Amino acid sequence: MKGKYIKGKRITYDGSQLRSLYSYTVHDVQGDSILAFRGPCQVGVESLVDAEDRKNRAEIRSEEMAHFIVELFGCDLERAVALQRLFLCVVKDVIEELKPELFITRRGDDLFIEVEAEEGEEENRKLTVSVATVSPVSALIHLGVNISSENTPVPTLGLDDLEIPVDDFILKVLQDFINEMKGMEQARCKVRGVS
C-alpha cells in the first residue's frame, strides 16, 4: 500500500474525490493507497454516498479537516466497511498516543470525545465523518477528522481544540495505517493450512 500527504495545498473535500482512480489521476498514486490532505469539507446532499444521510438531508461541512482517502482494489463492500472501522481504530490510537489524557469512543464509523457541557452535564462531541463505498473497480473510504470545530452542523471537537499538531497527526496516521495493512498481508502469508 502506498501513502501520500499533499502537504501545503488546501483541497476542499466535496465528495467528488471519492471516486475510483482519484489518487492516481490527480495525485500520481497508483494502486492500493491512502491519500491525505487538509482543507474544508462541504458535501452537498446530491453528493452524499450514505443514503440515510441523503434521506435526512444531513449537512456534512467543516471549515478545516484532515482528509484521508483510501482506495483498495480487489476489495468488496463488506471488507471495505471492516477496514473503515479498523482505520478509525488506528486514528483513535494515534490521538490517544499524542494525547493520553483523552477518552475517545468509537461508535460504528465515527469517533467521539466526551466533554463537560453546561450545568455539569456531559456531551459527546463528534470528531470524524466517514463513509465506505465501492466503484466498479475498487473500494473507497473517506475519513475526515475535524481540525476546526467552528460552524459545524453538529457539536464537534477538532485537532486544534485538542492542541494536536496536525501535520504530525496526519503523517503518523498514514504510517500506522500502512503498517497495519502490511502486517495483515504478512499475517496472511505466514500461516500454514490446517485440516
Confidence label for 52 from pLDDT (cuts 50, 70 and 90): confident
Confidence label for 180 from pLDDT (cuts 50, 70 and 90): very high
d(CA 2, CA 35): 8
Mean pLDDT across the stretch 7-23?
95
Residue 97 pLDDT > 70: yes
Q: What is the overall mean pLDDT for the chain?
A: 93
Instruction: Say which range, 10-19, 44-53, 153-162, has the weakest mean pLDDT.
Output: 44-53
pLDDT at residue number 186: 94
Report the length, in residues, of the chain: 195
Mean pLDDT across the stretch 105-122?
84
Residue 43 pLDDT > 90: no
d(CA 131, CA 109): 7
Better-predicted residue by pLDDT, 91 or 123: 91
Residues 6+ apart with CB under 8 A from 187: none
Residue 90 pLDDT > 80: yes
Residue type for position 26? V
pLDDT at residue number 120: 66
CATH architecture of 2-188: 2-Layer Sandwich (3.30)
Mean pLDDT across the stretch 12-38?
96
pLDDT digits (tens, 9 = 90+) for 139-165: 999 999 999 999 898 989 999 999 999
Strand order in the sheet with 138-146: 2-10, 33-43, 60-73, 138-146, 128-134
Q: Taking Cα atoms as reference points, which of 102, 100, 72, 103 lies closest to residue 177?
A: 72
